[in-house]
Structure 1
Amino acid sequence: MPKVLLTGGSGFIATHILQLLLNRGHEVVTTVRTEEKAKIIRDAYPGAKLTVAIVPDIAQPNAFDEVVQTPGLEYVQHTASPFHFKWKDAKTEVLDPAIKGTTSILEAVKKYAPTVKRVIVTSSFAAILDASELENASRTWSEADWNPNTYEDGITGHPGVTYRVSKTLAEKAAWDFKENEKPNFDVATINPPFVFGPVVHNLSSLADINTSNGNLVGLIVGKWKSEIPATGVHLFVDVRDVAKAHVEAMERPEAGGNRYLVAAGRFTNKDFVPIVRKNFPQLADKLPEDSVPGGDYPGGSIDNVYKFDNSKATKELGLDWISLEQSVVDTVGSLLSVGAK
């Protein structure tokens, strides 16, 4: 089976990709930032065809030069991202590292790994949406769309704009690299919205949870009892479908050169409440009553929000989509197992 480099192997999505790659018999080299995280992964997969390498800072020049020289690499799954919300300077701490984190892996592969056939990049629905159109019920989002925000918007805008710009320009950097540098490999990108699903990696605390699942943590620890927070982007996908999309985009020859909107359906934060109440009766005292406001579609109707077209990922990657209920049940079960109370 082919040998795969997976960057950012301790991340929420990456841990599921790693599990799936190993289950399918691939040999994997994965990168993490610290030896502590490396040990967690090694201990989780004793005897697996797995190497864990330390790359402390993916935004540094030549960060990936050494690891991509691993003999026999055929594919790269690039999930690592330097983004966080605790920044003070958008340019030096968010935008430039996001762009450089993508170009540095591509440069290293071109220079040192001539056997690589394809690089799959984890992008985001944030690189597709136009925030000014989010209340346009006649709009249908697909892979053909691009977030129109510019680098300058990312410098001057609020943190949400900066995040969207970082995702957009990092993905565009990958496509530009392919067009301008003409490397031996091709590129595919995976663009998910809110990603829910069970946690398979070790959490030192629930504070380390990914942003999307953090919504469910808030619900089950009782933070929504007086008001349900606004949903934001009304699209979701389960992390296991995201992982499958990455691996299918790697294994299917025809996926090269394609961008995939990986979204399962529309949802509201309010939808979580009856699902959790039905499946986890022990959490009843933490949940908001039906009369608690917030978290719904605009005007209380799904007809008031945009649509989406996931037919390309459905057909070309063979995805059949985990439902919101299944995703929420499995997520909450995993959160309870790591100590959410």
Structure 2
Amino acid sequence: MRVLLTGGSGFIAAHCVDYLLQGNHSVVFTVRSHDKGKKILSNHPNVSQDKLSYVIVEDIAKEDAFNEAVKSDPPFEAVLHTASPFHFNVKDPKKDLLDPAIIGTTGILKAIKKNAPSVKRVAITSSFASIINTKGHPEVYNEDVWNPVTMDEALHTDAATAYRGSKKFAEKAAWDFVEKEKPNFTLTTICPPLVLGPVVHYFNDLSSINTSNELIRDMIQGKMKDELPTTRVVIWIDVRDLALAHVRAIERPEAQGKRFFVTAGSYRNSDIVDIIKKNFPDLASKLPAKYERDPKDDPFKFDNSRSKDVLSMEYRSLEESITDLVKSLQAAGA
């Protein structure tokens, strides 16, 4: 299968490249600059250009950003859309979060419909943020649940609410597009919670590490010695499992037209400290000696059975994920 992968230099996409190549797909990934594109190619020196190449998309928030990127010879059969902003350094919620997420998502769907009729399957990275209800948890979280944030709340509350809104409205816009426009392709969405796991070694910049892994970087650099913060998102997934879920979402006929809530289960920040102390005793002096353990009672129930049944997901353990993450951070100079 020939696949367009957006957000090629992102944490998730970098692992998607590996799984796509393992599956013998040919991949074109989007990046914002030639420097980033060449960096990724240099990590796969034995892969030919017809199997792995890149195309520049400078700003995914522009309406016509993907018009040229979706054109290919040979033509694309599937698209993995992982590009979306995520940071809490938000000055203008509309401009910094909502527009890039919503326009980036609908923009690529419009471009595929208009310029790439050969595409039959599209999978989009959404988020548990599009599911979670911070005002009151449902009996169980599954794919039927949507967060209740309104556009007004997303625009006028805080950065976290704006982020949750951006994820919900972008995913809703994608499903609405498919329903109204009846394109040639099916849609699948993937909703992960906190994403942990190793960073790929060709992005050795600890200052621009993905938000999910920042906490662990700060831990092993001694910045959490005095106080361990309360666990913010209590469920997680390893980035490699998430990447594999994306690839299976375009490979499997039975995954088409479905939303997937993917998670390995619950964790606490204190669990991460315990794992690091056990596997990296030389780091113990940088970690908190005493720490409050968050309550082990999970604040909500969740059901990830669809991901296991349809995508055959077998989730990695927290210990494997954190151990591999710390090794990758050390290799990057942490």
**Do structure 1's residue 141 and structure 2's residue 144 form an aligned pair?**
no
Letter in 1 for 2:87: H
Letter in 2 for 1:8: G
CA contact (8 A) 2:88 2:160 kept: no
Moved over 2 A (4+): 82-87, 201-205
2:238 maps to which residue?
238
Q: Which whole-Å deviations, capped at 9, do the CAs of 1:182-228 have from their partners, x for residues lacking one? A: 10101000000000011115234211111111111111111111111
1:51 maps to which residue?
53
Residue among 102, 105, 110 paired with 2:105: 102
Residue among 53, 62, 67 paired with 1:65: 67
2:315 maps to which residue?
321
1:250 maps to which residue?
250
1:179 maps to which residue?
179
| Identical counterparts, % of pairs | 51
Aligned-partner SS, 2:96: helix
Aligned-partner SS, 1:308: coil
Q: CA deviation at 1:35?
A: 1.2
**Do structure 1's residue 127 and structure 2's residue 130 form an aligned pair?**
yes
CA distance in 2 between counterparts of 1:84 and 1:56 reads 18
Letter in 2 for 1:27: S
CA contact (8 A) 1:9 1:15 kept: yes
CA distance in 1 between counterparts of 2:303 and 2:53 reads 38
CA contact (8 A) 1:59 1:82 kept: no
CA contact (8 A) 1:150 1:165 kept: yes
Q: Which whole-Å deviations, capped at 9, do the CAs of 1:282-306 have from their partners, x for residues lacking one? A: 11110111x333xx43xx232x511
Letter in 2 for 1:113: A
CA contact (8 A) 2:151 2:165 kept: yes
CA distance in 2 between counterparts of 1:335 and 1:99 reads 32
2:37 maps to which residue?
38
CA contact (8 A) 2:29 2:54 kept: yes
Aligned-partner SS, 1:80: coil
1:190 maps to which residue?
190
Q: CA deviation at 1:151?
A: 1.1
* Structure 2: gaps of 5 or more residues: none
CA distance in 1 between counterparts of 2:236 and 2:95 reads 30
Q: Which whole-Å deviations, capped at 9, do the CAs of 1:74-114 have from their partners, x for residues lacking one? A: 00000011343333211122112210000010000000101
Letter in 1 for 2:57: V
**Do structure 1's residue 286 and structure 2's residue 280 form an aligned pair?**
no
Aligned residue runs from structure 1 range 186-225, under 5 A: 186-225=186-225
Q: CA deviation at 1:118?
A: 0.8
CA contact (8 A) 2:201 2:332 kept: no
CA distance in 2 between counterparts of 1:224 and 1:286 reads 8
Aligned-partner SS, 1:81: coil
- Aligned-residue CA RMSD (Å): 1.2
Aligned-partner SS, 1:257: coil
CA contact (8 A) 2:270 2:291 kept: no
Q: CA deviation at 1:339?
A: 0.5
Q: 1:17 to 1:273 in 2, by over 3 A?
A: same
State the number of aligned residues.
330
Residue among 294, 297, 301 paired with 2:296: 301
Letter in 2 for 1:305: P
- Of the structure 1 ranges 273-282 and 83-92, higher mean CA displacement relative to structure 2 is found in 83-92
Aligned residue runs from structure 1 range 107-122, under 5 A: 107-122=110-125
* Structure 1: gaps of 5 or more residues: none
Q: CA deviation at 1:281?
A: 1.1
2:10 maps to which residue?
11
Q: CA deviation at 1:139?
A: 3.1
CA distance in 2 between counterparts of 1:161 and 1:8 reads 23
Residue among 304, 315, 320 paired with 1:310: 304
